[in-house]
Homo-oligomer: A and B are copies of this chain.
Amino acid sequence: MAQSDKQTKFILDENEIPTHWYNIVPDLPAPPAPVLHPGTGQPIGPADLAPLFPMALIMQEVSSEKTIEIPDEVRDIYRLWRPSPIFRARRLEKALDTPAHIYYKYEGGSPAGSHKPNTAVAQAYYNKADGTKRLTTETGAGQWGSALSFACALFGLECTVYMVKASYYQKPYRKSMIEAYGATIYASPSTQTQSGRKVLAESPDTPGSLGIAISEAVEDAATHDDAHYSLGSVLNHVMLHQTVIGQEALKQMEKAGEYPDVVIACVGGGSNFAGLTFPFVGEKLRQGKKTRIVAAEPTACPTLTKGVYAYDLGDTVGLTPLVKMYTLGHTFIPPAIHAGGLRYHGDSPLVCQLLDHGLIEAVAHPQLRVFEAAVQFARTEGILPAPEAAHAIRSAIDEALAAKAAGEKKVILFNLSGHGHFDMGAYDAYFAGKLEDFDYPDEAIAEALTHLPKVG
């Protein structure tokens, strides 16, 4: 019997923190669709992005190198929580009475409680090196806002966060954490920006959306010389930075002596999904592995399962370039579900391209079944998950139950992207029977899709 037959935790040495980020672009079957200027509809170049990002990040955004070296300063801070552990969920397996082996990579050990610092630290580093004084950003559930304010504190950068209003009130303590790290925070839409004021004039009671908050943060950076903008998901360089997760996971699964049949992560903008799965997609593309890669999203914001693959704006107001992605339309405002990090009308263009190529699949879960999975996981495995991550747990449990029904041994790996210590209001609402399922009506989505920009 191999030692791994009894082990439940698979860790790596500190010197096994990856030295390079993995870039999936050169492994893709086709080059990514170009990013277009929102005014001219023509492809944009690095110079067009210079008002928002330091050149080092722009070069990563358009890179076709296979790997990009991680600066020592970034790896030094990664040591606070990396390498992150992989656990075999033996108690959950037993509760489900499944022949499946369930593994999870746990990213909740970072100071901000999620995978987000993997890119926040890198972005703060390159901005500091570029002379940036202040970073602006948006945040949904607050995971990204706390991660960036944490990173800015460590590099001595100022930080301004526009937090989606629905989450700002649902998660007051995320706001407090962001302030504790020294950042300034506004509920979005705010009166701080022209974009915010425009939305407020039209819909004073809007719960806000990531699309609106992005408009505000982009406008703030674009109109202030010493400020740059920072995005916690969607963009290629963000996906790139997160690949430390999957690179570690590949090594850890080797230590476990198994290779996953299914790899699962939740998708909001795509960053934790890309982080875990891109290195496994790379193995599919290069080694012909048959691994299924599953993206789990909410039925309340079913971008990958009900959106269209088209050029759309990344924000609501129209300050960002046009990118080709699965989208529900940039005017789509999802209901205020408790997985605030998954309320985005689009998704990472790279993730969307993989779905278009048939290299990954997507599934949508209603809110109540997600919380049911979260509670079952907490009471068996002991870690209380963030509602976003619980979408991945739901999929993992569904896969494990399917394996049981089929009498198949199956190896499942999912990303537990964050803990739920800031989400207790959502758990309260769940236990009080106050949570509802949102199955966003097809007609509303169809209407939002009529607002897609015309291209070409």
Contact = CB atoms under 8 A, between A and B. Distances in A.
Nearest to A78: B9
Contacts of A176: 424-425, 427-428, 431
A84 to B, nearest CB: 10
Given A87-B80, A109-B109, A173-B173, A180 B424 contact: yes
A172 interface: yes
A182 interface: yes
Given A109-B109, A382-B153, A421-B421, A76 B177 contact: no
A384 interface: yes
Interface in A8-26: 8-9, 11, 13-14
A379 interface: yes
A278 interface: no
B111 A383 contact: yes
Contacts of A179: 427-428, 431
A87 B153 CA distance: 18
The size bracket of the interface on A is: 35 or more
A416 to B, nearest CB: 11
Interface string A262-292: 0000000000000000000000000000000
A79 interface: yes
Interface in A398-456: 419, 421-422, 424-425, 427-428, 431
A378 interface: yes
Contacts of A9: 14, 79-80
A380 interface: yes
Number of copies: 2
Q: Is the interface of A mostly helix, strand, loop or mixed?
A: helix
A113 interface: yes
Contacts of A384: 111, 177, 180-181
Interface in A173-222: 173, 176-177, 179-182
Interface in A65-88: 76-77, 79-80, 87
A229 interface: no
A150 interface: yes
A135 B176 CA distance: 34
Given A80-B87, A154-B91, A180-B384, A173 B424 contact: yes
A375 interface: yes
B182 A383 contact: no
A150 B419 CA distance: 14
Nearest to A87: B80
Contact of A150 (B111, B113, B150, B382): B382
A134 to B, nearest CB: 16
Nearest to A13: B11
B379 A181 contact: yes
B382 A111 contact: yes
A35 to B, nearest CB: 33
22 contacts: A8-B79, A9-B80, A11-B14, A77-B382, A91-B154, A150-B382, A153-B379, A153-B382, A154-B382, A172-B428, A173-B421, A173-B424, A176-B427, A176-B431, A179-B427, A179-B431, A180-B375, A180-B427, A181-B378, A181-B379, A419-B421, A421-B422
What 7 pairs between A and B have smallest CB-CB spacing? Answer: A173-B424, A176-B424, A421-B421, A111-B382, A153-B379, A9-B79, A111-B383
